[in-house]
Amino acid sequence: MCGIVAAIAERNVSAILIEGLKRLEYRGYDSAGVAICGPDGLLRRSRRIGKVAALEQALSDEPLPGRLGIAHTRWATHGVPSEANAHPHFSGEALAVVHNGIIENHEALRARLQGLGYVFSSQTDTETIVHLLHHTLKRLPELADALKAVVRELHGAYGLAVISAAQPDRILAARSGSPLVIGLGLGENFLASDPLALRQVTDRFVYLEEGDIAEIRRDALRIWDAEGREVQREAVQFHEGAEAAEKGEYRHFMLKEIHEQPKVVQRTLEGRLGSDHVLVQAFGPQAAELFAKVRNVQIVACGTSFHAGMVARYWLEELTGIPCQVEVASEFRYRKVAVQPDSLFVTISQSGETADTLAALRNAKQFGYLASLAICNVGTSSLVRESDLTLLTNAGPEIGVASTKAFTTQLVGLLLLTLALGRVRGTLDAGVEAGLVEALRRLPGHLQDALAMDKTVEQVAALFAEKHHTLFLGRGAQYPVALEGALKLKEISYIHAEAYPAGELKHGPLALVDSDMPVVTVAPNNELLEKLKSNLQEVRARGGQLVVFADREAGMGNGEGTHVVAMPPIHDLLAPILYTLPLQLLSYHVAVLKGTDVDQPRNLAKSVTVE
Ligand code: AGP
């Protein structure tokens, strides 16, 4: 995922652009660049591989003065990280573009433009945009008109910004699948992928909507919607108390991070979905070629990330038929592993610095895996640097030791992986993929609905405050969700919690059940529901207190010793993501009632960088 910043002002903009890029580094980077229209009316650029600091140094050695500029931090999808592939891309000497996203039909466009005589200097999909725009400007000389015509020819996802030395009084922007926000200043205006990038210059923003094209001048703004109608978009004051590493209105980081999930899940999806399919290039430039060879998947991770891997196994085998093994890294790293041919080695980690997971990856390199893929929240981490392919979850900093938003965004990333593998391997029905893509688009709204149940969950939490033991039950892909629920409860409330597949209850743990042992169950409305109901009868018959998070259409109601929390209906394959939220809230409220240290529970560390 790349980051865009642009500015038009009456002062030099390079420092504003650099500061903005630094604030976007969380989006991952392998190179950065800036193009500025100088006082002499000429466009100049500077590009560097590596961190924004390298670009900053270059600009301090060789300043680029000017009052109009665009800048970019890149996370490679087409073409290796190199100066030539870094943005901004030029067509001729007077037109520059920065782009976030993936242009799926870039090969066809490239061939057409080469036929017209354009010479490409990079391997990127972005360069097709700037040449196509250059070509279109010959018949439509107004930048806005030309850009409107160009975007009609682009398939895929993009957020882009354009400047031209021929029209140096404006920045043009277009959004489809990758967010863009305009920052409003006094006699100066800005553009960025995320308002955080512009917080040093303004707190008033206009969010572009899907399909919007914007023309940003120093003292004027015009926006056209997807149908080409000129529209007014409301300016909003930035209220998010702040920077990601502050609690804001929340009492604890964990609560803040639980409530961020609709927003950050949206970010995980950003730029990775086409109209009805997942964009395979989101996993890196070689992903399509490598995925075509994958016949097995080995997932390795620790703790919460391991639970995400367990859910993915259900998805991968059900949707793609690709066999999948999942193992905790601390075991995998010391085992003599029998590697299946053509296996993709997948690590999952919030921090990307977990010692066991890193060691497992390093060992795996000697075992002959086809390739390694890291699903990770930290773009600068060792895990990301040492893996062949990466999918960043983009959850933003997670401060609470108990992982919450990292887990749900990992799940989203793993579902994207499932759909991408299934499509490339030809084992996933296109209709099923389209249905899931649609369901994923609606997921943030469903998560918001689940968070609205907070007060109900808080009341239920009172049942646990005096207890010492709890059982969590789930079936199918809800079993790992039960495991995650139990992990959350023990981590922050210090209540002993165990999770079982519900069908295992009668094979031993049922002996523990009595009125002092509450049993928590996740019960979406699927084909396992009736079996689950029988398991719950087994608990009730022994006097156990039941707390059931059940689909409101599952026909379950409160009764003697049974507390049902009604959940909104959801696509069955997305239920593990939704049902995780009330379990997080439950642990949180139990911990608050018990007065434990929610954000920094005893004996634990956020990132386990030692064995
Ligand atoms: C979860 O709440 C824990 N903090 C822990 O299990 C964590 O998920 C595990 O240590 C793995 O961390 P990682 O995702 O950063 O690799």
Q: What is the side-by-side order of every strand in the sheet holding 95-103?
A: 89-91, 95-103, 156-164, 171-176, 213-216, 221-224, 230-231
Whether the CB of 403 sits within 6 Å of ligand 1: yes
Output the CA 497–ligand 1 centroid distance in Å.
Answer: 17
Output the CA 266–ligand 1 centroid distance in Å.
Answer: 22
| Percent of the chain predicted with pLDDT > 70 | 97
Final residue in a domain of this structure, among 237, 269, 286: 237
Minimum mean pLDDT range among 37-41, 389-393, 406-410, 607-611: 607-611
On whether both 75 and 206 belong to a single domain, the answer is yes
Mean pLDDT of 583-593: 97
- CA distance to 475, 504, 527, 538, per residue, from 533 (Å): 11, 14, 11, 9
The full DSSP string for 417-482 is: HHHHHHHHHT-S-HHHHHHHHHHHHHHHHHHHHHHTTHHHHHHHHTTTTT-SEEEEEE-TTHHHHH
Q: Does residue 507 have a pLDDT over 50? A: yes
Whether the CB of 608 sits within 6 Å of ligand 1: yes
**Catalytic residue at 302?**
no
Mean pLDDT of the chain: 92
Whether residue 447 lies inside any domain: the answer is: no
Output the CA 8–ligand 1 centroid distance in Å.
Answer: 43
Instruction: List the structure tokens of 38.
Output: 């100088």
Nearest Cα to 584, choosing from 592, 572, 574?
Answer: 592
On whether both 226 and 291 belong to a single domain, the answer is no
The tens digit of pLDDT for each residue in 328-358 reads 999 999 998 999 999 999 999 998 988 899 9
By three-state DSSP, how is residue 501 classified?
strand
Whether the CB of 350 sits within 6 Å of ligand 1: yes
Instruction: List the structure tokens of 68.
Output: 């109009």
Whether the CB of 303 sits within 6 Å of ligand 1: yes
Q: Which residues pair with 164 in a beta bridge?
A: 95
The full DSSP string for 63-93 is: ----SEEEEEEE--SSS-S-TTTSSPEEETT
- Outline where DSSP puts E strands in 524-609: 546-551, 562-567
Main-chain phi, psi angles of 574, to 5 degrees: -95, -5
Instruction: List the structure tokens of 511.
Output: 């002996």
Output the CA 103–ligand 1 centroid distance in Å.
Answer: 35
Highest mean pLDDT among 184-198, 243-257, 479-493: 479-493
On whether both 420 and 457 belong to a single domain, the answer is no
Output the CA 403–ligand 1 centroid distance in Å.
Answer: 6
Q: Give the model's pLDDT for residue 241.
A: 44
User: In angstroms, rounded to a whole number, what is the distance separating the alpha carbons of residues 97 and 103?
Assistant: 14
Find the CATH number of the domain harbouring 323. 3.40.50.10490
On whether both 80 and 216 belong to a single domain, the answer is yes
Q: Give the model's pLDDT for residue 542.
A: 84
Would you say 90 and 118 are in contact if contact means Cβ atoms under 8 Å apart?
no
Name the strand (E) or helix (H) holding 299.
strand 296-301
- Outline where DSSP puts E strands in 552-591: 562-567
Range of the domain at 546: 452-603
By three-state DSSP, how is residue 375 classified?
strand
| Nearest atom within ligand 1 for CA of residue 304 | 8
User: In angstroms, rounded to a whole number, what is the distance separating the alpha carbons of residues 460 and 216?
Assistant: 51
User: Which residue's CA is the nearest one to ligand 1's atom 8?
Assistant: 304
Final residue in a domain of this structure, among 210, 237, 264: 237
Main-chain phi, psi angles of 349, to 5 degrees: -160, 135
User: In angstroms, rounded to a whole number, what is the distance separating the alpha carbons of residues 17 and 197?
Assistant: 9
Whether the CB of 521 sits within 6 Å of ligand 1: no
On whether both 223 and 264 belong to a single domain, the answer is no
User: In angstroms, rounded to a whole number, what is the distance separating the alpha carbons of residues 202 and 214?
Assistant: 18
| Nearest atom within ligand 1 for CA of residue 303 | 6
Q: Give the model's pLDDT for residue 610.
A: 56
Whether residue 440 lies inside any domain: the answer is: no
Residues 6+ apart with CB under 8 A from 512: 469, 471
Output the CA 366–ligand 1 centroid distance in Å.
Answer: 25
On whether both 222 and 368 belong to a single domain, the answer is no
Alpha helices in 321-404 (DSSP H): 329-332, 355-364, 382-386
On whether both 265 and 191 belong to a single domain, the answer is no
User: Which residue's CA is the nearest one to ligand 1's atom 16?
Assistant: 349
Choosing from 311, 403, 407, 493 the residue with most ligand 1 atoms within 8 A of its CB, the one to mutate for a pocket test is: 403
User: Which residue's CA is the nearest one to ligand 1's atom 10?
Assistant: 303
Whether residue 27 lies inside any domain: the answer is: yes
Question: Residue type for 205, please?
Answer: F
User: In angstroms, rounded to a whole number, what is the distance separating the alpha carbons of residues 331 and 311?
Assistant: 19
The one catalytic residue in 263, 293, 533, 606 is 606
Alpha carbon 289 to chain centroid distance?
A: 23
Whether the CB of 349 sits within 6 Å of ligand 1: yes
On whether both 508 and 585 belong to a single domain, the answer is yes
Mean pLDDT of 55-72: 97
Residue 396 is classified by DSSP as: -
On whether both 336 and 229 belong to a single domain, the answer is no
> 43: phi > 0 → left, psi -120 to 50 → alpha, else beta; which?
beta
Output the CA 445–ligand 1 centroid distance in Å.
Answer: 26
**Catalytic residue at 324?**
no
Name the strand (E) or helix (H) holding 599.
none
Nearest Cα to 586, choosing from 498, 441, 463, 458?
Answer: 458
Whether residue 147 lies inside any domain: the answer is: yes
Output the CA 603–ligand 1 centroid distance in Å.
Answer: 13
Nearest Cα to 360, choosing from 318, 399, 327?
Answer: 327
Mean pLDDT of 106-113: 96
Residues 6+ apart with CB under 8 A from 129: 89, 97, 99, 103, 150, 154, 158, 160
Q: Does residue 242 have a pLDDT over 50? A: no
Greater confidence, 380 or 182? 182
Whether residue 186 lies inside any domain: the answer is: yes
Whether the CB of 607 sits within 6 Å of ligand 1: yes
On whether both 94 and 233 belong to a single domain, the answer is yes
Main-chain phi, psi angles of 67, to 5 degrees: -105, 5
Mean pLDDT of 431-445: 96
Which sign does the torsion angle of CA 308, 309, 314, 315 carry?
positive
Alpha carbon 596 to chain centroid distance?
A: 30
Q: Give the model's pLDDT for residue 49.
A: 94
Whether the CB of 354 sits within 6 Å of ligand 1: yes
Choosing from 252, 300, 302 the residue with most ligand 1 atoms within 8 A of its CB, the one to mutate for a pocket test is: 302
Q: Give the model's pLDDT for residue 528.
A: 75
Final residue in a domain of this structure, among 380, 412, 428: 428
Whether residue 410 lies inside any domain: the answer is: yes
Would you say 306 and 328 are in contact if contact means Cβ atoms under 8 Å apart?
yes
Whether residue 110 lies inside any domain: the answer is: yes
Whether the CB of 491 sits within 6 Å of ligand 1: yes
Q: Which residues pair with 6 in a beta bridge?
A: 70, 191
Whether the CB of 347 sits within 6 Å of ligand 1: no
Output the CA 4–ligand 1 centroid distance in Å.
Answer: 31
The tens digit of pLDDT for each residue in 10-59 reads 999 999 999 999 888 766 668 999 999 999 999 999 999 988 999 999 99
Count of positions (residues) in the chain:
611
Would you say 119 and 65 are in contact if contact means Cβ atoms under 8 Å apart?
no
Output the CA 219–ligand 1 centroid distance in Å.
Answer: 48
Whether the CB of 401 sits within 6 Å of ligand 1: yes
Choosing from 258, 304, 353 the residue with most ligand 1 atoms within 8 A of its CB, the one to mutate for a pocket test is: 304
Whether the CB of 296 sits within 6 Å of ligand 1: no
User: In angstroms, rounded to a whole number, what is the distance separating the alpha carbons of residues 123 and 86?
Assistant: 10
- Buried b / exposed e over 180-216, threshold 16 CB at 10 Å, is bbbbbbeebbbbbbbbbbbbebbeebbebeeebbbbb
Q: What is the pTM of this model?
A: 0.77
Mean pLDDT of 305-312: 98
Nearest Cα to 246, choosing from 238, 256, 237?
Answer: 256
| Nearest atom within ligand 1 for CA of residue 302 | 11
Count of domains in the chain? 3
Whether residue 444 lies inside any domain: the answer is: no
Find the CATH number of the domain harbouring 65. 3.60.20.10
Q: Does residue 224 have a pLDDT over 80? A: yes
On whether both 269 and 233 belong to a single domain, the answer is no
User: In angstroms, rounded to a whole number, what is the distance separating the alpha carbons of residues 215 and 226?
Assistant: 14
Instruction: List the structure tokens of 36.
Output: 């500025």
On whether both 599 and 462 belong to a single domain, the answer is yes
Pairing of strands 89-91, 95-103: antiparallel
Minimum mean pLDDT range among 163-177, 227-241, 446-460, 477-491: 227-241
| Nearest atom within ligand 1 for CA of residue 608 | 10
pLDDT band at 380 (very low <50, low <70, confident <90, very high): low
Q: Does residue 381 have a pLDDT over 50? A: yes
